[in-house]
Amino acid sequence: MHGEGVVKVSHERFWLICQNLYILGNSYNVLNLQHKAIKYLDIGRAFMRAAEIGEKRQFIRILNILGDCYFAQYDYKTALVYYNEALEIGEPAKDEDHVDGEAAPEDEMNQSTEDMALHNQLLSKSAEANISMNQYENAIEYLEQARDMQDVMGEDIKGDLVSTLYQLGQMHSMAGDVDKAIDSYKESLEVFRELHNTLGPEMCVTLGNLATMCYVKACICEDIDSELQMILAAEGHFQDALKLEMNQSVCVKYANFLYSQGNYEDAIMYLEDALKSKTNLPEIVYGGLEKVTLPEALQDEVDAQEEVEMPSVCLGHFLEVLSYKMLGKTRHSDRCLLKLLKTVYDTDSPFLRSVLGYALMEMGLFEEAAVSFRAACEMDPEYHLALDNYCLCLCLMVLESLNSALKNFFIHYRIWYDEMNPTTPTIRELDM
């Protein structure tokens, strides 16, 4: 570059210069030296914008890596700018000029397929950037475009279509569109079955998510017949998923479903299978309408935070506490409560301190619950729901003290006293 202009060179030399800049930028990006990568890629981008002899495909690749660099630095907004710029240049890109003259028809077809694959990759990356910024509606638009392109390409990138449809199902779920989420998960399963003739273990999570969405739909159905139909569908999908693989997070989700249906013994059985694994269990993300599948106490957390990431092991122990309590097995509940306490204290998550607080409240340990909620408030001063629960626990402690004082007063003066009344309310009674 000289001054404000670009050196006039032949097409071949210009292509070579830009290719070297692209290779340098890509290499530094692979080495996680994004600041150096951006330096060379910015020069390449400036060259391509100032000249009229550059190839679209080369320009798109430079913009693609530029977006990747900013994405790696968690600057999703800037990454999205470069991904969108690349998408605007090619629909997909097809070079009018070739360095080595006219390409053979077969080469042209292969190149066109590569261009479409790159375009599809850019759409997926744009969706990921929007997901990272919690802009789910925008992410859905990009994923739907990617799906349409994959439909056109057929077998060439049908494997990508499975992943895209799975992502699309997740986005529809977060956006609260249950029917579209169910359709996307079903379509993902159908495409995988077309490719492999059967479902493999890798589709266990997709089936689990489909089952969860069916249960969500059951919760919002207006008539009993439709509700029963969706509950049976959810049960079937969970069973099919666990036949493919005993995935721990799916086991916990299924146990949550069984608990909600009052099938506490089976819920405990699946939780024991999931929690005895020595591997680190994955986190489960709850947001949007998925909150209706959770125990009531945790639904308020999703309302307050819009989205919560809950380790499978914590949700599992929490469900164990509730299930054993419903079966009247207090000693087993206490044991599971200690496991939950140990797991929570190994982290510094305010949300998990609240989960522990809810479990302690279920067991009537309001003083200990107050301590847990107060710890959550101290970790995050903006955590208003934890503060509300802390105050609630203090009120319940006062109520218990008054109840005990009145009981002793009546007994001392030989006044009639009904031992069952008044009682300290449970969480469910407080919610009502």
Q: What is the pLDDT of residue 240?
A: 93
Distance CA(301)–CA(232), nearest Å, equals: 28
Q: 133-163 as b/e, with b when 16 or more CB fall inside 10 Å? A: eebbebbbebbbbbbebbeebeeebeebbbb
What the block records as the tokens of 428 is: 């469910």
Give the Cβ contact number of residue 19 at 10 Å. 15
The beta strand positions in 159-302, using DSSP E, are 283-287
The dihedral through the CA atoms of 340, 341, 347, 349 has a sign that is positive
CB under 8 Å to 71, separation ≥6 — which residues?
Answer: 79, 125, 128, 129, 132
The pLDDT assigned to 100 comes to 45
Angle among Cα 426, 349, 128 to the nearest 5 degrees reads: 115
Alpha-carbon radius of gyration of the chain = 28
What local confidence, expressed as pLDDT, does residue 325 receive?
93
Q: Which long-range contacts (CB under 8 A, 24 or more apart) does 158-165 make?
A: 158/191, 158/194, 158/195, 159/195, 160/117, 160/120, 160/124, 161/188, 161/191, 162/188, 162/191, 162/192, 162/195, 163/124, 164/124, 165/191
Give all domains of the chain, ordered by start, each with its CATH number: 1-94+114-136 (1.25.40.10), 158-245 (1.25.40.10), 246-402 (1.25.40.10)
What is the structure's pLDDT at 53?
57
Residue type, 429: E
What's the one-letter identity of residue 414?
A: R
pLDDT in tens, the chain (432 residues): 444 555 566 777 777 888 888 888 888 888 888 888 999 898 888 888 877 655 788 888 889 899 999 988 989 899 999 988 888 887 644 444 444 444 445 555 455 666 777 787 788 888 888 877 878 778 878 777 877 766 655 555 566 778 888 888 888 887 788 898 999 999 889 888 888 888 888 899 999 999 999 999 998 888 899 899 999 999 999 999 999 988 888 999 999 999 999 999 999 999 988 888 766 667 888 877 788 888 888 888 888 887 888 888 999 999 999 999 999 999 999 999 999 999 999 889 999 999 999 999 999 999 999 999 999 999 999 999 999 999 999 999 999 888 888 888 888 777 765 554 555 555 555 555
